[in-house]
Chain A
Amino acid sequence: MSSAIETPVVQSAALYCPNCGGSIQLRGFAHTLTAICSFCGTVLDTSTPAFRILQTAQEWQQVQPPLPLGSRGKLDGVEWEVIGYQIRSMESEGETYAWGEYVLFNPYRGFRYLSEYNGHWNFIRTLSRIPEGAVSERRIRLDGQVFRKFQSAQAQTTYLLGEFPWRVQVGESVNFIDYIAPPLLLSGEITGSENEITWSLGRYITGAEIWKAFNAPNLPPATTGVFENQPTPRAGSVGGIWKAFGWSLIGLMLVMILMSLMLGGRTVFEQAYEFDPKAGGEPSFVTPDFELKPPTGNVEVQMKTDLENNWTYFNLALIGTDGHAFNFGHEVSFYEGQDSDGHWTEGGKSGAVTISSVPAGTYFLRVEPEGDKTKATLPVHYRLIVRRHVINWLFPILALILLAIPPIIHSFRGLGFERARWQESDYPQGSA
């Protein structure tokens, strides 16, 4: 059926300012209750055909809002027109903070709002449902989600431009209370003698998104500081980075375990010797042959001594029957005693040298120990232990440290961000 009465297209009303005669085009049709003459700043009651002057402005200056009145843009798939702009301010700890609020209009879907402070924006709509919990509480819920109380203050309107679907004048104040669950901002505006609360829900949005949607001129206001419901940058990815770190840790450990299981740290030669530095003669000797299995890899030579307040220098050569030779040396020294601080030790009784990239083959060690011939020391007893494919924990540990840097930096940045956010709150973190 379609028995509708054909009604004419609703035209926007054009009227004249009763103060200066300037023309005023109403964008909000019959919904506009307050309009501000853009020529003289007079605040007009537009709820009746005869515009009533509510307030005249002295030394009126038209402020050009960054997002101009009359701009149209699509947010969440719906077209909105900017019809009103007000500047509101609040006092906190002796400081005055001022921010802008835009009224967005669509003749079918009603009103939305944009707020802007220091380049931080919120896309806001009033709610037809109420939060769970009393405003005296530090946490309340909306749609099951927990919101934390951030601040409560009085907002005073200091400048008006365009149209408003409510009655407003410069100088009017309302109390508000903000709860946050970034990127959401749940705000209650408390009005009237009976403290009626109007709840609204804002979602953090970047100036760049708005400028793109509204095809606005110039650049959006620069962003400074951290805003109350600004999402932590890469908020989703800090956890993700730690998860990636966890996985690489597990991967690395698996590789190390596999390596040590398959070829790790096999002792290929072990023998005990005695060395008396005072004995004279030629102390050098060669060990029996031992096999170093493929693949090419490291060899660790350990020297375990019974040195006591003495030193031994081991001149060593790992010599392959095919001609490969690796010359190296290592001093082992151990001292201990008593002083006013008690017992002390220096050095150690054992030492080890790792030679990397040793091809497989048959090898032996040439050993030439040197010692202190002057002291009346006892002969040194030592064991030589040769191990093939020793796992060097230094590299995996270094790798772990390097891998941990990005998640740690991200976490610190996130913490700094949260600290900056809550510094502006009436309810600083830590006392929560």
Chain B
Amino acid sequence: MPIPLQNANCPGCGAPVLFRWEHSIQTTCPYCKSVLVRTDVDLKLIGRIGDLPLESSPLQIGSEGQYRGKPFHAIGRILYEYDQGIWNEWHILFSDNTSGWLADAQLEYDVSFLTASPGPLPGPNDVQLGMNFRWFDADYQITNLTRAHYRGVEGELPFQYWDKHVVLFADLRTTSGRFASVDYSEREPLLFTGEAMEFDDLKLRNLRAFAGWTI
């Protein structure tokens, strides 16, 4: 169970700000939507987020679930918008104090973790659909190239992340449902690997309620 690391107040509105994970660098104030970055001494207000289409995912901050028997809960998210809708990258914190990502792209779910790349990754100008990579004894193929617009953030993230513009992602799939994604938002491409998940296998709880529906 996470502990409050730092009892600080939002520099924007004075509301108390709680960190659930010691490694979180950034969070948002749930009251005034300020984006707050943790420094050694205090919280720095670096921007504000506009109104977000938060109902684009059944998850919310505090939603709990399981991945391969390990419990996690959602502590933050990044929202992206691309030409086929919105997708959410939920920052999930595991009970062993590690964190990963649960992507919800129009209710198709993938769990992934930042992974040291086993080989060279193509640069943003070289990456192409259909490229194949042999990683961890599996054949990964680039199935989607997505140019997404950064739409907003919510909650705790392991890095500073806000006010981005267009970000390129390459998604890779295998014949057995393994998943990988190359994120070109930083100077060096970052590799995330994991697998596609069925909603029912994630055993999610504390989800948002939708009028007229039960889980």
Cβ of B210 < 8 Å from any Cβ of A?
A: yes
Indicate if B63 sits at the interface (CB-CB under 8 A).
Answer: yes
CA distance A9 to B62 in the complex (A): 16
CA distance A5 to B28 in the complex (A): 13
- Of A3, A107, A111, A128, most buried by chain B (CB within 10 Å of CB) is A128
Total interface residues on B, using CB and 8 Å? Answer: 49
Report whether A5 and B30 are in contact in the complex, using a CB–CB cutoff of 8 Å: yes
Within 8 A of B (CB), among A31-83: 31, 33, 47, 79
CB distance from A109 to the nearest CB of B (A): 5
Are B196's CB and A128's CB within 8 A? yes
CB contact under 8 A between A194 and B129, given known A4-B62, A30-B56, A107-B213: yes
User: B207: CB under 8 A from chain A?
Assistant: yes
> What separation, in Å, do the CA atoms of A165 and B107 have in the docked complex?
11
With an 8 A cutoff between CB atoms, is A1 at the interface? yes
Contact B199 A128 (CB under 8 A): no
Asked if B1 is at the interface of the complex by the 8 Å CB criterion, the answer is: yes
How many whole Å from A237's CB to the nearest CB in chain B? 33
Distance (whole angstroms) from the CB of A116 to the closest CB of chain B: 23
Q: In the bound complex, do residue A110 and residue B30 qualify as a contact, i.e. CB atoms below 8 Å apart?
A: no
Collect the chain B residues with CB atoms within 8 Å of residue A107's CB: 58, 107, 210, 213
Contact: A31 with B56, CB < 8 Å? yes
B54-88 Cβ-contact flags toward A at 8 Å (1 or 0): 11101011110000000001000000010111100
Could you tell me which residues of chain A, from 164 to 223, have a CB within 8 Å of some CB in chain B?
165-167, 194-197
Q: Please classify how large the interface on chain A is, using the bins under 10, 10 to 19, 20 to 34, 35 or more.
A: 35 or more
Chain B residues with CB under 8 A of A126: 108
| Cβ 8 A contact of B208, one of A3, A7, A141 | A7
A106, B177: Cβ atoms closer than 8 Å = no
Given contacts A5-B60, A166-B84, A196-B144, contact A128 B177 (CB under 8 A): yes
- Given the complex of chains A and B, what is the CA–CA distance between A79 and B213 in angstroms? 9
- Mask: chain B, 135-147; 1 = CB below 8 Å from A; 0 = not: 0000001011100
In the complex, residue of chain A having the shortest beta-carbon distance to the beta carbon of B204: A108
Which residues of A does B touch, CB under 8 Å? 1-5, 7, 9-12, 29-31, 33, 47, 79, 106-111, 126, 128-132, 141-142, 165-167, 194-197
Chain B residues proximal to chain A, CB less than 8 Å: 1-2, 18, 20, 30, 53-56, 58, 60-63, 73, 81, 83-86, 106-108, 110, 128-129, 141, 143-145, 173-177, 179, 196, 199-200, 204, 206-213, 215
The 13 sampled A-B contact pairs (Cβ below 8 Å) are A1-B1, A1-B2, A2-B62, A3-B18, A4-B62, A7-B54, A9-B208, A10-B209, A33-B85, A107-B210, A108-B107, A109-B107, A132-B175
Top 3 A-B pairs, shortest CB-CB distance: A4-B62, A110-B107, A128-B196
